[in-house]
Structure 1
């Protein structure tokens, strides 16, 4: 898995799909992202901010991103009726 010191996963592959969210470019990470563990989405967001900023920069910053790019990391849902995603 990715870490702050080395933002790429062990096999070097990160699968993403580019889309738009209300007109803004969004890069959705399908696989190869960091494991944020369990708990609430708020705790996963905090874990992502604290431990995986290098991965975030790799996904949304130039040369393959832009200053207005939004990143979305799919994760396990907290309930069976919702999707799990960290923006």
Structure 2
């Protein structure tokens, strides 16, 4: 179980907002994937298990971004985005 401070919890909630913005078409894919990583970096997370799992979930998103740039639809990456969303919610709930 990750111990989060208020700043880190706020950043994880920000990631959930980014997911929603991407799904709604308000955020392009390239920017979405970069914003996720930038938000993680801003949290200065020390829990290596959390960081490793986060990157395990983020890496497929980054791979698609590197290969296709913005030419990725929400449908193309829904499985990966849903996995990230579920993980973030689980961490925020103390799981």
Taking structure 2 as the reference length, the TM-score comes to 0.33
The structure richer in helix per residue is: 2
The structure richer in strand per residue is: 1
Higher relative contact order (Cα pairs below 8 Å, separated by 6+ residues): 2
